[in-house]
Amino acid sequence: MLKFLDMELAIDDECFQPNTVTKLFAQNIDPVGKTILDLGCGVGAVGIHFMKNGADGCIGLDIYDGHVKYAKNNTELNDVKMQVLQSDIYSNLTDQKFDIIASDISGCAKEIADITTWFPKNVPTPENGWELTVAAIKDSKKYLNTGGEFYSAVLSFSDRDKIDEAFNETYGDDWEILFEKQIVFSKELYDNKEIACKYPVVEKRNRLFWTFYMYKGNA
């Protein structure tokens, strides 16, 4: 059992473990009175947090059946009414629309996923993770109410030029990077610096940092 934010989560080592980025993402979206799509919901941490903090409803989507199983269990464990569906991005949605889409599909490159413990082997990770992020961005407006908001978690271990281009194509001038936070390299990243440092990193006081970005598009 994992204690995370305001909940307890049933989880195993074959699932993505909610982490600092998950916490930053969840805590910087105001769910009060909103209907929310939790895209890439994992074991349900973000959606459950929203439901515990005033959301008017939430659907969680994830492609990995192990995540779906645990997310459903965790909604019951935390006594929240949140629907969870197995879905390749939006594929199992029909005509639903939401006030908020919270996309925790980070676009992390597979070579980074392979050297860290962030993404267990059973969690699908394409070679170019940015392709999933871009697909989520480009189709997002179909599933947003007028005035809706699309939030995306993005890591510097991705192709941000392609992600920025997708936001420009989809939201024009009406998008922004809400904030960015530098996060110190883990031991796994230090041990594989020749791979990690192919991506934008920051060096300060003899320490290496990667960057988490939180994007927002307005429908």
Mean pLDDT of 5-14: 91
Q: Are strands 2-4 and 7-9 parallel, antiparallel or unpaired?
A: antiparallel
Give first-to-last CA distance, the chain, whole Å: 38
What is the pLDDT averaged over residues 100-115? 90
DSSP 173: T
User: Band of the pLDDT at 28, cuts 50, 70, 90?
Assistant: very high
Residue with tokens 């699908």: 124
Which pLDDT does position 66 carry in this prediction?
A: 92
Q: What is the mean pLDDT of residues 17-25?
A: 91
Q: Give the tens place of pLDDT for each residue, 65-78.
A: 999 999 999 999 99
pTM of the model: 0.94
Q: What is the pLDDT of residue 13?
A: 86
- Residue 170, pLDDT > 90, answer yes
Cβ neighbors of 81 (< 8 A, separation 6 or more) are 51, 57, 75
HSE (side-chain half, CA atoms, 13 Å) at 147: 2
Give pLDDT, residue 124: 67
Q: What number is the average pLDDT over the span 135-164?
A: 96
Q: Could you write out the DSSP letters of every residue in 121-152?
A: TTS---SSTHHHHHHHHHTGGGGEEEEEEEEE
Q: How does the average pLDDT of the chain come out, rounded?
A: 93
Considering the chain, what percentage of its residues have pLDDT values greater than 90? 82
Mention every residue, 6+ apart, whose C-beta is less than 8 A from residue 105. 39, 40, 89, 132, 133, 136, 152, 153
pLDDT value of position 155: 94
* Per-residue model confidence as pLDDT tens digits over 47-99: 999 999 999 999 999 999 999 999 999 999 999 999 999 999 999 998 899 99
